[in-house]
Amino acid sequence: MMDGSDTQSLQWRKLTSEDLQAMLVIEQAAHSHPCSSSVLLSFLNRPTAQVWGVIKGQKLLGFSIVSVVVDESELINIAVHPQAQGKGLGRQLLQQAIEQLPDTVRGMFLEVRQSNEAAIALYDRMGFIETGVRKNYYPTKQGRENALLMARDFSLES
């Protein structure tokens, strides 16, 4: 069973193309419209992307993908296997991703499904504010739904 509750045994590391299959399992289990293996692989191979994973034993429990361009970053994806959700791993993954950013990065942007209340609450707790809406951005089983745009300005933090 995937259990992220024992934080003493968790390890954090940058992921590589060797982690692609484990990432794909989590992506498919955690998202209604998952990214393809080719999209995940493109981020693993992109020099401007930081892909972090949380591992317990030999098992990948979750990952984050952040794109960094000059002095800005964008949270592309964060996914925790459903069996390991609800234990704070999403918050820890986001915190790890932020801590590993170059000092020159002034902020982070993200898009989140309007219906993803758990993620929105996490981003609120982590200091992100809503900056806009993209209408009909994400596909759903019934059609499309809005994306909330959120941002955190690191230059305002001391």
What is the amino acid identity at position 12?
Answer: W
Helix (H) or strand (E) holding 92: helix 89-99
CA angle (127 as vertex; 94, 156 as ends), nearest 5: 110
Confirm whether 137 is a catalytic residue: no
- Tally of CB atoms within 10 A around 133: 12
Task: Pick the catalytic residue from 74, 99, 117, 123.
Answer: 123
Residue 24, judged by CB atoms within 10 A of its CB (0-12, 13-18, 19+), counts as middle
Query: 111, 137, 138, 157: which one is catalytic?
Result: 111
CA pair distance 2, 90, nearest whole angstrom: 14
Report, as residue numbers or ranges, the catalytic residues.
111, 123
